[in-house]
Structure 1
Amino acid sequence: MNPFLDITLRSLAVYGFMILGLRIFGKNQLSQLNAGDIILLLLISNAVQNAMVGQDTSLQGGLVAALVLFLTNFGLKKLIFKNSKIKDLIEAEPIILVKDGILDKNALNKSEITIDELEESVREHGVENISEVKLAILEVDGNISIVSFDKNNQTNFTRHKKKKNIRRKL
């Protein structure tokens, strides 16, 4: 078999496995990385490197593997955009955790988010307690978006990203 075709097939298999793994282990893992998660990511990347390139440790082999991953990711994003069935298969739906100050414990359990984690996220958005939250949503990317009421009963939306706190009024 052609070595570049071998690398291409191996890279596609690893990419598919990683998509499946992220789908199985949940979206809340994406944005809430701790030290153990970072170590796991580094170890996984090291473990799958040989699975993708096999014995070919040349520059060309690495570039082919990287190109296949970029193209596959680009193609998958295009497919997700155009086909809702594929999107539903690969991406989970956003989950409403709080609505009008009322906590949905079933949604928290399904998302494997503790009340302490949700309260921390609410505070990170500048809201004192859950009763002041109009809407809290666990987004597809693993972040929690918060829509709250301020003292003048205006709606405020914030979305917490790692190391950034974007705040805007609706």
Structure 2
Amino acid sequence: MNWFSVNWHAVFVPNISVLELVIRGSLVYLALCSVLRLLPSRQLGTLGITDLLVVVLFAEAAQNAMASNYTSITEGGILVGTVIFWSYFLNWLGYKFPTFQRFLNPPPLLLIKNGKTIERHLQQELITEDELKSKLRQQGVEFLTEVKLAYMEADGSISIITSESKNN
């Protein structure tokens, strides 16, 4: 057994065509991006256990779909580069074309208006009233009647405009 010999060919030379790696990486990235965009922002800006599980399972499933059974550093680098390319390109598209940005990052969703919750929006995002009240308390709001407007932002956080907010 030779512990210090390295098979440089296996380390750097891809076993799969570069074009196939780029196509696989692109398709998996775009599919996962679409699926994750359509899932509700249930945890209000936090990463819950179910969200973490989805990410881990997606990563496991995507690894095989993207590269089949890659073994070289070059193949891993090509896949990482493909993912970085799509991430940058989609963000660039969103910057250049506001219509596309709405797909990447949804507009704020109104949850409370003049102290009253908008039930269908809470149901759409699978947010219970108790969870919403908890987030309000964390921001120093004790009662729903104090809230003029509350929005769930694209990142899952909640922004609040209270009835006592000053108009400048």
TM-score (norm 2): 0.80
The alpha-carbon distance between structure 1 residues 18 and 10, as it changes in their structure 2 partners (threshold 3 A), is same
Aligned residue in 1 for 2:100: 86
TM-score (norm 1): 0.79
> Secondary structure at 1:142's aligned position in 2?
coil
Q: Does 1:111 align with 2:125?
A: yes
The alpha-carbon distance between structure 1 residues 61 and 29, as it changes in their structure 2 partners (threshold 3 A), is farther
Within 1, Cα distance between the matches of 2:44 and 2:28?
A: 18
> Secondary structure at 1:38's aligned position in 2?
helix
For each residue in 1:132-166, what CA deviation from the matched residue of structure 2 results, as whole angstroms up to 9, or x when unmatched?
112210111222112225xxx345xxxxxxxxxxx
Over 6 Å off, 4+ runs:
none
Percent identical pairs in the alignment equals 31
> Secondary structure at 2:161's aligned position in 1?
strand
Unaligned runs of 5+ in 2: 1-15
More strand by share: 1
Q: Flag the structure with more relative contact order, 1 or 2, with Cα contacts below 8 A and sequence separation at least 6.
A: 2
For each residue in 1:97-144, what CA deviation from the matched residue of structure 2 results, as whole angstroms up to 9, or x when unmatched?
112222212221222211111111101111112111122101112221
Amino acid at match of 1:131: T
Unaligned runs of 5+ in 1: 156-169
**Equivalences for 1:69-84 in 2 at 5 Å?**
69-84=83-98
Aligned residue in 2 for 1:159: none
What displacement does 1:20 show?
Answer: 1.3
Instruction: Return the match for 1:23 from 37, 59, 67.
Output: 37
Cα RMSD between the aligned structures?
2.3
Conserved in 2, the CA contact under 8 Å of 1:14 and 1:51? Answer: yes
Aligned residue in 2 for 1:39: 53
Q: Which has more radius of gyration?
A: 2
Conserved in 1, the CA contact under 8 Å of 2:22 and 2:82? Answer: yes
Q: Which moved more, 1:31-40 or 1:60-69?
A: 31-40
**Equivalences for 1:124-139 in 2 at 5 Å?**
124-139=138-153
Aligned residue in 2 for 1:67: 81
